[in-house]
């Protein structure tokens, strides 16, 4: 399919994605992260996560890996929509702490394990999971190509991926509105709710420099995935990437 593409660095300065800095930023906003997602997306983030999980066609027997799990929303959703077991990995300890609280509250501790780790060096054995997800985390990885290769490594043959990430709408009507919102309104709301100056200045910067659409789909294909598709959502403000390990 034909989708919009932007290469890294086009018209924007690449933000600092040093793992310790990004982890520290998410540690600082972990307590308000779920609220911020709901406010800034108008609640659509929940719908997008459900779409990603549904795209995997889980049967109820799969072991799923959720990378950049954050506060474990996808991990929890996957167990409620077909995954037998889920391992969630993130490099922010504070995010995992909040995620674990939600897992325990949902009485899912027997089915969800949360582990601190790096997306480019996953603490998971080769060919040990049936499906893998990343929701709004791949653009925060300093080496996304390495993360894609790691996803391929840990998947069983036939295993499937679903990755959600922001893009930039190409619509002549919606595109300028979205750009204005992301540059002017989103950082102000983010700072007000999170009380963190840098976090929601980083967000539009990281979106503006991320290689989305066909460009990121090429990274997945180069890593070795087949049947790669990039599905634009909300006029391309978000993309759902899917693929399979042959």
Q: What pLDDT sits at residue 11?
A: 44
Choose among 231, 222, 238, 220: nearest CA to 160: 220
pLDDT exceeds 90 at position 12: no
What pTM was computed for the model? 0.92
Beta strands 129-135 and 112-116 are: unpaired
Residue 143 has pLDDT above 80, yes or no: yes
Q: What is the DSSP letter of 14?
A: P
Give the pLDDT mean for 156-169.
96
DSSP class of residue 118 equals B
Question: In the chain, pLDDT over 90 holds for what percent of residues?
Answer: 73
User: Distance between CA atoms of 3 and 148, rounded to whole angstroms?
Assistant: 20
Q: Does residue 14 carry a pLDDT above 90? A: no
- For the ranges 8-22, 100-114, 151-165, 228-242, the lowest mean pLDDT is seen at 8-22
pLDDT band for 191, please (50, 70, 90 cuts). Answer: confident
- Domains, the chain: 19-244 (3.40.50.150)
When pLDDT is cut at 50, 70 and 90, the band that residue 6 belongs to is very low
């Amino acid at each position: 399919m034909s989708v919009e593409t932007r290469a890294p660095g086009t018209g924007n300065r690449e933000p600092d994605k040093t793992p310790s800095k990004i982890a520290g930023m998410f540690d600082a906003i972990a307590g308000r992260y779920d609220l911020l997602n709901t406010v800034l997306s108008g609640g659509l983030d929940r719908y997008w996560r459900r779409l990603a999980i549904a795209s995997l066609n889980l049967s109820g027997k799969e072991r799923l890996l959720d990378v950049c799990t954050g506060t474990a929303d996808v991990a929890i959703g996957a167990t409620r929509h077909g995954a037998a077991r889920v391992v969630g990995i993130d490099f922010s300890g504070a995010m995992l702490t909040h995620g674990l609280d939600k897992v325990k509250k949902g009485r899912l501790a027997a089915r969800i394990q949360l582990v601190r780790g790096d997306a480019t060096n996953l603490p998971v054995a080769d060919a040990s999971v049936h499906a893998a997800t990343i929701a709004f985390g791949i653009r925060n990885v300093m080496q996304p190509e390495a993360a894609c290769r790691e996803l391929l490594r840990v998947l069983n043959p036939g295993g499937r991926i679903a990755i959600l990430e922001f893009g930039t709408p190409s619509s002549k009507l919606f595109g300028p509105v979205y750009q204005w919102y992301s540059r002017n309104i989103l950082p102000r709301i983010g700072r007000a709710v999170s009380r963190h100056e840098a976090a929601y200045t980083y967000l539009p910067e990281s979106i503006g420099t991320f290689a989305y659409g066909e460009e990121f789909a090429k990274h997945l294909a180069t890593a070795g995935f087949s049947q790669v598709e990039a599905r634009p959502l909300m006029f391309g403000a978000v993309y759902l990437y899917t693929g399979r390990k042959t």
